[in-house]
Chains A and B, each alone.
Chain A
Amino acid sequence: MLQILDLECVRGDLLLFSGLNFALESGELLHVKGANGSGKTTLLRTVCGLSHPESGKVLWQGESIWKQGESYRDELTYIGHLNGVKDELTVLENLRIATMLSGEQHSEDQLIDALVKIGLGERIDLPAKMLSQGQRRRVSLARLLLTKSTLWILDEPYTALDVSVIATLQQVIAQHLQCGGMVLLTTHQDVDIEGVVKQLTLSA
């Protein structure tokens, strides 16, 4: 279970939000809404452990994520604004290295399978610099089809994706929730996913 207790975040001298509380149980999705600059990305980065809050706690299975470190990161997959895709590497190489970086080993077939499902089957050997913005996004989202981690933190995952890929992604997320996973995501679009969908609106 993920718990946020009395969280306060600032950017520079500016207070983004304070006294934020929520909990996320197995099989639940939390859709974080809010205007630009309301601190959605900061919240997600704080929950990941990339940013430190001004005060408050982030607990995973009842223990502070700062104390757990590696064991928490093992359960976490974060996809931020940046795709982490290298221009010089091919699509397949990018996915292979990204999954190995998060400590997972997958066979060549599994990697290709994931890329086919997300609609990049014909481009696996193409250098990433030849891809469009949406296709790069898909390379980074392909990790979700492979990872075994429980908590997914997705910052605007739908950006630059076309409708068919969004549908595929929503299926993948729904399946993850069914298997007892947790998802924390931000998006300006409506979330049309089966399962327990909670909402949180940050006001600037």
Chain B
Amino acid sequence: MAAEQSEKKPTSWLRFSSPRNFYPLAGKMIPWFMGLAIVLVLAGLYMTFFVVPPDYQQGNSYRIMYIHVPAAWMSMLIYLLMAFYAGLYFVLNVKLADMMAGSLAITGAIFTFIALWTGAMWGKPTWGTWWVWDARLTSELLLLFLYLGYISLRAAIDDPNRAAKASGLLALVGVVNVPIIYFSVKWWNTLHQGASITTNKTSMATEMFITLMIMVFAFWMYTIAVVLMRVRNEIIERERDTNWLVEELGKEK
């Protein structure tokens, strides 16, 4: 349906929402984003290990923050972005929006997992335990459950249209609940006076901030590259019977 719409009005920006136009465009963009991601990650890691000074309280162990914090930010932003694409799917009825949402979910879940894993690794030298039930880690854990629910629902429904609509609705329900869950967990945590991992924010030096930003950009570039790759795979699977795809795949060889 999306393809027909865009063929009728080729001047509209919606033409990029047709798999036929999107597939080659994404193919051209992926190497650039992936290349940028690799360069930025290398630069960020160099800064992390050789440029920024050790923390005056936590020593070197705090350096994992440069992965933990950007991953945690990404995990939350990607959930919002996923819900945005789910909403877009309902408004415009464009299948590509649903493919974007589905692809983002997997990357989001991976970043959530990385944030949890690095949080645990940071917690061990800092608090002496792998896991503390602090507000951030707990919210992050619940976010992982939300991602897993979304991914499982998509996987459990065979019909792609029903999967798109059902998971889209779940994403919208989830995004309404995320602030409520976050607020409740924070409130629960203050009541039980749990520990929290933070670094001394006032002492954040310029090079620390720059390193953090480099890592955030690196993660964004990586996200865009892998999401485009996943959407392309999804297009191949769904449009495998169409002529244009066969031609397109022929060109790539």
Question: Which B residues fall within an 8 A CB radius of A?
Answer: 1, 4, 158-161, 238, 241
From 58 to 108 in chain A, residues with beta carbon under 8 angstroms from any chain B beta carbon are: none
Q: Smallest CB–CB gap between B90 and chain A, Å?
A: 12
Residue A190 at the chain B interface, CB threshold 8 Å: no
Contacts of B161 in A (CB 8 A): 52
B93 — nearest CB in chain A belongs to which residue?
A: A52
Q: Smallest CB–CB gap between B152 and chain A, Å?
A: 20
Partner of B1, one of A11, A12, A13, A54: A54
Cα of A54 to Cα of B159 in the assembled complex, Å: 13
Contact B160 A55, beta carbon cutoff 8 Å: no
Contact B4 A12, beta carbon cutoff 8 Å: no
Contacts of B241 in A (CB 8 A): 13
Contact B238 A12, beta carbon cutoff 8 Å: no
Contacts of A55 in B (CB 8 A): 1, 4
Q: Smallest CB–CB gap between B169 and chain A, Å?
A: 14
What 8 new A-B contacts, CB under 8 Å, besides A12-B159, A13-B160, A54-B1? A11-B159, A12-B158, A12-B160, A13-B238, A13-B241, A52-B161, A55-B1, A55-B4
Cα of A52 to Cα of B241 in the assembled complex, Å: 22
B159 — nearest CB in chain A belongs to which residue?
A: A12
Q: Smallest CB–CB gap between A56 and chain B, Å?
A: 10
Contacts of A13 in B (CB 8 A): 160, 238, 241
Cα of A8 to Cα of B1 in the assembled complex, Å: 10
From 31 to 46 in chain A, residues with beta carbon under 8 angstroms from any chain B beta carbon are: none
Cβ contacts A to B, 11 pairs, < 8 Å:
A11-B159, A12-B158, A12-B159, A12-B160, A13-B160, A13-B238, A13-B241, A52-B161, A54-B1, A55-B1, A55-B4
Q: Smallest CB–CB gap between A146 and chain B, Å?
A: 34
From 1 to 40 in chain A, residues with beta carbon under 8 angstroms from any chain B beta carbon are: 11-13
Contacts of A11 in B (CB 8 A): 159
Q: Smallest CB–CB gap between B14 and chain A, Å?
A: 16
